[in-house]
Amino acid sequence: MKKVVQLVFGDARNVASVAVAVALAWAVGQWLPAASGWVLVAALIAAAFWQAA
- Write the interaction track for another protein spanning residues 15-34; mark x where CB under 8 A is met and - where it is not: x-xx--xx--xx--x---xx
1 lies in the binding site for another protein (CB under 8 A) = no
Calpha distance 42→23 (Å, rounded) = 13
Answer for the pair 49, 22: CB distance below 8 angstroms, yes or no.
no
Residues at the contact surface with another protein, assessed by CB under 8 A: 3-4, 7-10, 14-15, 17-18, 21-22, 25-26, 29, 33-34, 36-37, 40-41, 44-45, 47-49, 51-53
